[in-house]
Every structure is written in C-alpha cells, then in structure tokens.
C-alpha cells in the first residue's frame, strides 16, 4: 500500500514573505515523503507583478493564486480568509505554514486553526509591544492560534513563554531570511547597481520608509524628511520609494520639499538582488523595515531604524542596528557619528548561518510523521 505524503501548505502574499518562503520550499522538496503546496494570496502583487520575485528567489510557480489585491486591513484579511478556506477544504493539508507578520500570515493562521489544521509560525514570538502597528496585532494573534513556533532569537522565546506558550512547542532555529541572503549574496555582488546609479561604494546611504506610523502621520513624516534634508547635504541618499509612501508624499504635498534636496535620489522599488547589492555597498542604511534591520546585521552594514522600537532586539544587542526614532536632531546626531568614523561593530547572531530552513523541515518532518501514526 502506497504511503500518503505529508501535505504542507505554505502561504505567501507580500514581498517579505517571498524572501522567507523560498528556502522553506526548497528544503521541503528534498523530502520524498513531503508534498509542499504553495499558495500566493496576492496581498501586494498579482501573479504577473510577482513573477520577478519568484524568478530571482527561485521559488516555483504557486499551485494557487488568490489575487486578493489591496484594500483596508479588514477587507484584505477577509478576502484572503474566504478564498483560502476553499483551498484548505479541498487539499486537506497536514499542516499550514505561515511566515512573518503580514495580513496573509494572520489570515492563513486563522483559517487553518478554525478548520483544526495545525499551524506552524516561522518567525514567531517577535514583539514591538506597540499595538498601533498592524504587524504587532498580526504577530500576537497568529502566535496564539499556532501549534509550532520557529524563532529567530532568544527574546522571542522569552516573549512566547511569558504569554503561556509551552516551551516544548518552541524551536530556536535561526532566520530563514538569512538563508536566502547567504544563498544569493555572491550573485547579488555581480549586479552593477553602483554603476547603474553612478555611485561609489561606501559613499552613499540608502533610505527605505513605508510604515504607516511614519508615512501616514504628516508631522512625523515631515520631521523625518527634515532630517533627510540635512543628511543629504553630507552624503548622497538613494531612496527606494514604496508605492504607499509615494502616495503619502503626494497627499501631503511634500514633493516640493524633496525636490530641493539635490543629493537625494528617488528610485523605483528594486528587485531582491538589486536591493541587496545596493545595501551591501552603502555607508549606512536608514529604514523602518524589520527585514532590512536583519539583513544589515547579517552583512555588517550600519542600520539606523527610524522607529521608536523594534521587534528584533537582537539586531541592536548583537548586530549593527541602532533605533533612532523619528526626531530630527537624534537622527542627524547618529548619522554624524557614522560619518565621523564612529561605526557600530556588530556580529552575526547564533543560527543565522543559512541553515534555518533545514532545521525547520527536520522538526516538521519528525512531528508530522509522529502525528500521522
């Protein structure tokens, strides 16, 4: 009698998900007894627009594309849940794996839990303790309906156990984002991003900005832009501008302000390899992105986080990250330190070695085989 394969549904939907899911799918395919099924919710991009990420990251074409598109948090989460429920009822998987903290993460975990399908949360336990962030709500709720918790750093273990999660369900495995980074770093170095934008390595900074607490608040956004206006007088800044941020610049009539900044270069969002190459050759990075905090720690580039908190404290304690907030004077002061040679020296955290996905699949294969008996 032929043994039925263990069926795992992996859910993606936004750019950070693609980076995290790639090594998991690749590793799952090595197991003859596991059948991975990829579902793309289309939270940020429809299939046509996401093809570039799948190609760069070597992710197979999804078996299901839900194409939910944009909308409010409630609308988007509801659309994903409605469409995903039909997929799970049809496929009857042994496990649903969700990554990160986007709406697709929450929706996938909720649907699976309500159908009594075990949930694995990759990148579990991270906390900013700031419930104004939609990502924080997604993280907390996802964790409290999940069954297996794969964490990137010790602080996440502490958070989960404090919230009543059994230590037996928590697995310290490392960071799947770094699996992708280490696999593609040498390839990204062949991308002539500096030549494309006429840059000299270590003579420019990179800026990314997209979180709603920064770009939806006019006064906060203005404060950050005022800081950027001063910094660009000292060093060229390359701003890979998020579509949402671009929309807010228009809404607040801030384009006149940034047009006066001669050393600020606005560029369209880049693919993964181009962005990794750009960050890797930068003097420092200014960001409010959680993923970039981790990537800069892994490649040893100074990172200034334009937020009041971070859910990734290991990047500050051990890595190259400094949380500077959104105050103009504080941002400028930290940049001045870097420009004067006072650069924070970090180290790569434990298990950020490119093997996190291997550890995760070993554990999932073991527990799912036990549960099938």
We report the CATH number of the domain holding residue 282 as 3.40.50.2000
pLDDT tier for residue 16 given thresholds of 50, 70 and 90: confident
Note whether 208 and 276 are same-domain residues.
yes
pLDDT tier for residue 45 given thresholds of 50, 70 and 90: low
In a domain, 233, yes or no: yes
Collapse the DSSP code of 132 into the 3-class scheme (helix H, G, I; strand E, B; otherwise coil) and give the result: coil
Note whether 367 and 322 are same-domain residues.
no
Note whether 201 and 302 are same-domain residues.
yes
Residues above pLDDT 70, as percent of the chain: 97
In a domain, 180, yes or no: no
Note whether 165 and 225 are same-domain residues.
no
Q: What is the mean pLDDT of residues 224-241?
A: 97
Note whether 200 and 150 are same-domain residues.
no
In a domain, 183, yes or no: no
Q: Are 269 and 243 in contact (CB under 8 A)?
A: yes
pLDDT tier for residue 188 given thresholds of 50, 70 and 90: very high
Spatial neighbors of 69 by CB under 8 A, at least 6 apart, are: 42, 46, 76, 79
β-sheet with 204-207: strand ranges across? 264-267, 236-240, 204-207, 284-287, 303-305, 321-323
pLDDT of the residue at 242: 86
Which one, of 132, 140, 175, lies nearest residue 159 by Cα? 140
pLDDT of the residue at 48: 58
Q: Are 286 and 205 in contact (CB under 8 A)?
A: yes
Give the count of domains, the chain.
2
Note whether 267 and 152 are same-domain residues.
no
In a domain, 347, yes or no: no
pLDDT of the residue at 54: 87
In a domain, 184, yes or no: no
Note whether 252 and 358 are same-domain residues.
no
Q: What is the pLDDT of residues 122-138, one digit of tens each?
A: 999 999 999 989 999 99
Note whether 133 and 41 are same-domain residues.
yes
Spell out a b/e string for 345-360, using b for 16 or more CB atoms within 10 Å of the CB, else e: ebebbebbbbbbbbbb
| Averaged pLDDT score across all residues of the chain | 94
Q: What is the pLDDT of residues 314-334, one digit of tens each?
A: 999 999 999 999 999 999 999
In a domain, 181, yes or no: no
Note whether 126 and 269 are same-domain residues.
no
β-sheet with 170-172: strand ranges across? 64-65, 34-40, 6-12, 95-99, 119-122, 148-151, 170-172
In a domain, 274, yes or no: yes
Q: What is the pLDDT of residues 143-155, one digit of tens each?
A: 999 999 999 999 9
Point out the residues that are catalytic: 210
Helices and strands in the chain: count of H runs, count of E runs:
17, 13
Answer whether residue 284 shows pLDDT above 90: yes
Lowest mean pLDDT among 111-115, 141-145, 231-235, 239-243: 239-243
Note whether 98 and 124 are same-domain residues.
yes
Note whether 117 and 153 are same-domain residues.
yes
pLDDT of the residue at 53: 82
Answer whether residue 373 shows pLDDT above 60: no
The domain containing residue 306 runs over which residues? 191-339
Q: For the chain, give the longest Cα–Cα distance.
A: 73
Note whether 365 and 318 are same-domain residues.
no
Lowest mean pLDDT among 27-36, 186-195, 215-224: 186-195
In a domain, 206, yes or no: yes
């Amino acid at each position: 009698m032929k043994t039925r394969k263990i069926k795992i549904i992996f859910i993606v939907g936004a750019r950070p998900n693609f980076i995290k899911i790639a090594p998991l799918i690749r590793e799952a395919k090595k197991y003859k007894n596991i059948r991975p099924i990829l579902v793309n919710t289309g939270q940020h991009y429809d299939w046509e627009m996401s093809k570039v990420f799948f190609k760069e990251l070597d992710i197979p074409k999804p078996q299901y594309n839900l194409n939910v598109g944009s909308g409010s948090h409630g609308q988007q989460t509801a659309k994903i849940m409605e469409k995903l429920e039909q997929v799970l009822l049809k496929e009857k998987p042994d496990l649903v794996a969700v990554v990160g903290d986007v709406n697709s993460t929450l929706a996938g975990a909720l649907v699976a839990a309500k159908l009594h399908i075990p949930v694995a949360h990759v990148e579990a336990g991270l906390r900013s303790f700031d419930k104004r962030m939609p990502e924080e709500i997604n993280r907390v709720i996802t964790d409290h309906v999940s069954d297996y918790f794969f964490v990137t750093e010790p602080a996440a273990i502490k958070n989960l156990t404090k919230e009543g999660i059994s230590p037996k369900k928590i697995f310290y495995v490392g960071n799947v984002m770094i699996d992708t980074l280490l696999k593609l770093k040498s390839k990204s170095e062949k991308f002539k991003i500096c030549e494309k934008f006429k840059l000299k390595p270590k003579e420019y900074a990179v800026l990314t900005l997209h979180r709603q607490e920064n770009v939806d608040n006019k006064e906060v956004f203005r404060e950050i832009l005022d800081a950027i206006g001063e910094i660009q007088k000292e060093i060229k800044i390359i701003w890979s501008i998020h579509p949402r941020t671009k929309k807010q610049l228009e809404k607040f009539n801030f384009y006149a302000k940034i047009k006066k900044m001669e050393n600020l270069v606005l560029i369209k969002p880049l693919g993964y390899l181009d962005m990794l190459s750009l960050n890797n050759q930068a003097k420092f990075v200014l960001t409010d992105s959680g993923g970039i905090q981790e990537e800069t720690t892994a490649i040893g580039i100074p990172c200034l986080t334009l937020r009041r908190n971070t859910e990734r404290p290991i990047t500050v304690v051990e890595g190259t990250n400094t949380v500077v907030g959104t105050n103009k004077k504080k941002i400028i002061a930290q940049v001045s330190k870097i420009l004067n040679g006072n650069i924070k020296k970090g180290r790569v955290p434990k298990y950020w070695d490119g093997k996190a996905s291997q550890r995760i699949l070993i554990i999932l294969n073991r527990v799912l085989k036990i549960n099938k008996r």
